[in-house]
Amino acid sequence: MFPKKLLKNYSSILVILLIFLVNSCAKSDFYEHKALVYGTVLEFKFYKTDAELSNKAIKQVINRLNTINKQFHPWKESEISEFNKNHQLKYTDDSFIKILSKAKYYENFTHSLFNPSIGKLINLWGFHADTIIGNIPSENKVNIILNSKPSLNQLLITKNTITTKNKELEIDLGGMIKGLSLDIANEIYEELGIDNVLTNFGGNILARGKPNNRYWEIAIQNPLDNKLLLAKLKLEPGMAIGTSGDYEKYFLKNGSRFSHLINPINGYPIKKYSSATVLITPQEDAGIKSDVLSKPVIFSNDLNKTRDDLNLDYFFVTTREKKILISESFLKKVEWLFEKDEFDVQTF
């Protein structure tokens, strides 16, 4: 039934077919990995990078982020929690001060619209918890904190201690940790000689290099419906993008939405805009900027002025009334993915 010769012939055809099949679903040039660190989803997408090297990088990044969380986690056990309780701390590592100095720099750069010293206010609204229940504080309590004008400039830093006289000052670097983590990951890639990788930490993305023949392409989630996409764009090597939105952490009370994005000027959650997205061109601190600069944008009273103040070209805000206000330069870069007329797009 199966003449040996024929079998031989057919098996060679089969082998060729198999090779073809295996090749067509060939080993991808991409290596993807997801991890969870202190509640933040980390996503790595390496292009043409040795799997072992990729895993080494991921491990180093996670180690660093664990260390940072042990230093700065605002409500779990950390050095900063200890400082917030006692208003003084003997810090263990110089990296601690380096990060605080960065935060201070950006607090001043954003005229305190990114203010890492209002941890007490954020806690007052009930956002220092794994599960947010929420609490609307009395005006009086809010004002006591605001009147003390909390600022990292009120810190007294010596060789191994930090102290402050302002008892209302509590540090919360939640507004820059994701971005800082991106820059740290980027340093690790640099050290290991990894050239092409897309890193997404809790929704903030940094592009390093690019896959062959194309740029990294990312989509932006629709702020009003997390199952939908709002826009798509290409990230050139070194670009970073970040969004602050009222859909991330919030609670609902009396039919109103209270976001964790507390305006440091008036002490109340953001109402005017539902999200702010900023695109940072390749530069130092691109990761941090993609995180920190979305705050002055979302709290902005005048987007044109904010653009000049921050020297920021690419950003947009959205409202719950389905309006998008976008800078002209950014408009040229995005491709909208919503159904026609779903959002009213205007430039400023």
Partner 1 sequence: MFKLFKPGDLVIFIICFFSIILIFINFYRVPSGSFISIENNNQTKEYSLSSKSVIELEGITIEINSGRVRVVKSSCKNQYCIMQGWISKLNQSILCLPNLTKISIKSNDNNITHDSTAY
State the residues that interact with partner 1 by CB under 8 A: 1-2, 6-7, 9-10, 13-14, 17, 43, 45, 198, 200, 203-205, 216-221, 226, 229, 232, 241-243, 245, 248, 277, 335, 337, 339-340
Q: Whose Cβ is closer to partner 1: residue 278's or residue 325's?
A: 278
Q: Is 164 helix (H, G, I), strand (E, B) or coil?
A: strand
CB of 222 to partner 1, least distance (A): 9
Radius of gyration in angstroms for the set of CA atoms belonging to the chain, rounded to a whole number? 24
In this structure, which amino acid lies at residue 117? S
CB of 346 to partner 1, least distance (A): 21
Q: Are 260 and 269 in contact (CB under 8 A)?
A: yes
Q: Whose Cβ is closer to partner 1: residue 84's or residue 199's?
A: 199
CB of 193 to partner 1, least distance (A): 21
Q: Whose Cβ is closer to partner 1: residue 115's or residue 243's?
A: 243
Q: Whose Cβ is closer to partner 1: residue 115's or residue 274's?
A: 274
CB of 294 to partner 1, least distance (A): 11
CA distances from 109 to 88, 113, 236, 245 (A): 25, 9, 25, 21
Q: Whose Cβ is closer to partner 1: residue 104's or residue 232's?
A: 232
Q: Whose Cβ is closer to partner 1: residue 8's or residue 98's?
A: 8
Q: Whose Cβ is closer to partner 1: residue 99's or residue 279's?
A: 279
In this structure, which amino acid lies at residue 314? Y
CB of 162 to partner 1, least distance (A): 33
Q: Is 204 helix (H, G, I), strand (E, B) or coil?
A: strand
- Rounded to a whole number of angstroms, the distance between the first and last alpha carbons of the chain is 79
CB of 177 to partner 1, least distance (A): 16
CB of 226 to partner 1, least distance (A): 7
| Residue 167, Cβ density class (10 Å: 0-12 exposed, 13-18 middle, ≥19 buried) | exposed
- 95-99 long-range CB contacts below 8 Å, 24 or more apart? 95/67, 95/71, 96/71, 97/157, 97/162, 99/68, 99/71, 99/72, 99/173, 99/180
Residue 252: φ, ψ to 5°:
-110, 130
The 3-class SS string of 14-30 reads HHHHHHHHHHHCCCCCE
